[in-house]
Amino acid sequence: MNNHVREFYGLDHKLIESPFEDIIDLTEENEFSFDVLQSKCLEFPKGYFELSQLNLKDRIEFVYSFWQKTLNFIPHVQSFFDQFFFNLDDVGIYLVKKNLSPTYDCHFIYSVNDDHTFYRGLPSISSQHLESLKNQFSETLPSDYLNFLKIHDGFSKDGDLGLIHSEDLLRERRLLQTRVQNLPYKVQFQEEDLDRDALIPFYKSFGLDVYQCFLSNWYPENEMGNTLFSLSEGYISDYNDPISRSKNLVFPTFLDWLVFYMEVVDV
């Protein structure tokens, strides 16, 4: 694992105090049975346990194969993920226990080589909750987003908050609608009041009131597109101008946004 992973989890105990009370690295510690691990973390998938038994090369190949099988890649997305998985130096599975927490959480780690960054994924959505989520949003959520939830229901870069967990999606939407309504001013979009009911936030930036939102009134490619919305600035990016879309963090598909989010930017 690269240094970003080690710093975030406090794995170098002599240098950094760990934010977790306990960490079980399943690719290093194989003495636990699946039943014991699931007793520590109820949402721990059997597939993760089996994956942890493989060597590094096979783990990366197996995970990428699963991404390819689950997501409907288009050419530029396929090209990006080809390069992304090629640049990984490790994929691992941690069970982490926060201080005072009675149970463990499961983190799936993607470590990028050259110490650029890392990504954390949570276990996939259950089929039962997936159907419930579709019903909550009247079958309107983009199919590429729903397919990604079959890989990770929660996904973040470094210490970012990342994708909002599906169980919190409806609550976050209602909270955002209320906060927009309670602003001391009206948020304007193209000289009209913003339709707050059209916003479905699926990503929230760490430490900022900045969201990426699906828009239930914008269907650029037969499914909902998404755009940046800053609550603190009362600003929503103009999704009607195709020339400035990518510059303003406006994307016609969820996968286009995901590629942008996962790009490694050299500093």
pLDDT at 28: 83
pLDDT score, position 267? 37
Residues 119 and 174 in one domain: no
Query: Do residues 113 and 215 share a domain?
Result: no
pLDDT recorded at residue 266: 47
Residues 70 and 19 placed together within one structural domain of the fold: yes
Is 7 in the same domain as 113?
yes
Q: Is residue 153 part of a domain?
A: no
DSSP run (H or E) holding 171: helix 166-181
Residue 195 lies in a domain: yes
Answer whether residue 226 is part of any domain: yes
Say yes or no: 103 and 16 in one domain.
Answer: yes
Burial class from Cβ neighbours inside 10 Å (0-12, 13-18, 19+) for residue 99 reads exposed
Distance, CA of 87 to CA of 66 (rounded, Å): 17
Residue-number span of the structural domain to which 235 is assigned: 166-262
- Let me know whether 109 and 171 are in one domain: no
According to DSSP, the residues that pair with 212 across neighbouring strands are 203, 228
Decide if 131 is inside a domain.
Answer: no
In this prediction, residue 134 carries a pLDDT of 94
Question: Do residue 196 and residue 92 come from a single domain?
Answer: no
pLDDT attached to residue 68: 95
Q: How far is the C-alpha of 117 from the C-alpha of 262, rounded, in Å?
A: 10
* Domain final position from 123, 153, 183: 123
* Cα–Cα dist 112/218, whole Å: 35
Last residue of a domain, one of 123, 158, 192: 123
Q: Say if 72 falls within a structural domain.
A: yes
How many domains is the chain built from? 2
In a domain, 155, yes or no: no
> Going residue by residue through the chain (267 aa), what tens digit of pLDDT does each one get?
888 888 888 877 655 667 788 999 998 867 899 999 999 999 999 999 999 999 999 999 999 999 999 998 789 999 999 999 999 999 999 999 988 888 999 999 999 997 778 999 999 999 999 999 999 998 899 999 999 999 999 999 988 989 999 999 999 999 999 999 888 888 877 777 888 889 999 999 887 889 999 999 899 988 999 999 999 888 899 888 888 888 889 999 999 999 999 986 543
Say if residue 117 is in the same domain as residue 216.
no
What's the CA gap between 229 and 218, in Å, rounded?
A: 14
Distance from C-alpha of 29 to C-alpha of 115, rounded to nearest angstrom: 23
Per the domain annotation, does 133 fall within a domain?
no
Task: Please tell me the pTM assigned to this model.
Answer: 0.93
Domain-located, residue 142: no
Report the distance separating Cα 164 and Cα 142, nearest Å: 15
Single residue among 61, 90, 123 that ends a domain in this structure: 123
